[in-house]
């Protein structure tokens, strides 16, 4: 089955430690995204990538880093510089080429809930 | 992206139609209306999108007013599994680049037995 996987589902870390969240997709999608969601709030874009070895900052990139070495993978590192890292993190992907059936649709993974103690 | 306004919460009886409104009075001519929903502690799921005409798929119907300043998502026969937060997003037609969708707080729909 095609889809997006995120691991782990729950993650606990001590304050001051870097942590990397995994995101893998086998949908052959070009674009991938990372969002953060706080309780009762909408989603905020952290980083996005349109192509391998290229990525752009979203609205709240400070304290985060990403890499896109493979089309299928877009890991997110939450660094110790992120002041309030406890949140629900969502990864998504989408097709870039307009004219296809689902243009504009983003497919989301199940999310990783990060708690920093 | 144009700003969208949705009610914070709504209730619906199981088996009845759920009508979720969205105001987007500043929407521009090239912006589509997208609807996503997020079941508790899961990732959002695409439902439907439209530009001018009403749209229908296996999940829902989207009714867009003639002046495009508002729209309504209709779930024709709501079930308990439709309980979720529903997001209305106004966004330009994709131009081949990545799409930075802006998710607001949405409407929390509760379907009651």
pLDDT digits (tens, 9 = 90+) for A41-80: 889 999 999 889 999 999 999 999 999 999 999 999 999 8
Of A42, A50, A111, the CB nearest to B42: A111
Cα distance from A15 to chain B (closest Cα, Å)?
24
Q: Is A103 near chain B, with CB under 8 Å?
A: yes
> Considering only CA atoms, which of B79, B89, B77 is closest in space to residue B24?
B89
pLDDT over 90 percentage in chain B: 74
Q: What is the DSSP letter of B76?
A: T
A51 contacts chain B (CB < 8 A): no
Q: What is the pLDDT of residue A102?
A: 47
At B12, the pLDDT band (50, 70, 90 cuts) reads very high
- The string of pLDDT tens digits covering residues B36-91 is 999 998 999 999 999 998 999 999 999 999 999 999 999 999 999 999 999 999 98
| A50, A98, A111 member nearest B43 (Cβ) | A111
Q: Is the peptide bond before B62 cis (omega within 30 degrees of 0)?
A: no
Confidence of residue A115 (pLDDT cuts 50, 70, 90): very high
What pLDDT, on the 0 to 100 scale, is given for residue A100? Answer: 53
Confidence band for A23, pLDDT divided at 50, 70 and 90: very high
Nearest CA in chain B to A91: B43
The pLDDT, as a whole number, for residue A104 is: 65
Task: State how far the alpha carbon of A55 is from the alpha carbons of A88, A101, B11, in Å.
Answer: 21, 25, 41
């Amino acid at each position: 089955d095609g889809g997006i996987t995120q691991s782990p589902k729950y993650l606990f870390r001590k304050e001051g430690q870097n942590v990397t969240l995994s995101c893998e997709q086998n949908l052959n999608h070009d674009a991938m995204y990372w969002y953060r969601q706080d309780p009762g709030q909408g989603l905020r874009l952290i980083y996005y990538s349109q192509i391998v070895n290229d990525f752009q900052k979203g609205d709240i990139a400070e304290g985060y880093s990403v890499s896109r070495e493979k089309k299928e993978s877009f890991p997110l590192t939450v660094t110790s510089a992120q002041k309030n890292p406890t949140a629900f993190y969502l990864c998504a992907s989408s097709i870039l080429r307009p004219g296809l059936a689902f243009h504009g649709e983003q497919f989301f993974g199940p999310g990783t809930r990060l708690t920093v103690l | 992206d144009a700003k969208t306004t949705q009610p914070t919460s709504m209730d619906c009886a199981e088996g009845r139609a759920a009508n979720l409104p969205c105001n987007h009075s500043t929407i521009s001519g090239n912006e589509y209306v997208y609807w996503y929903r997020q079941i508790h502690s899961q990732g959002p799921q695409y439902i439907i999108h439209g530009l001018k005409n009403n749209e229908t798929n296996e999940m829902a119907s989207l009714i867009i007013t003639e002046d495009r300043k508002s729209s309504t998502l209709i779930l024709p026969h709501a079930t308990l599994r439709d309980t979720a937060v529903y997001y209305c997003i106004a966004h330009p037609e994709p131009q081949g680049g990545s799409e930075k969708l802006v998710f607001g707080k949405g409407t929390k729909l509760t379907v009651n037995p």
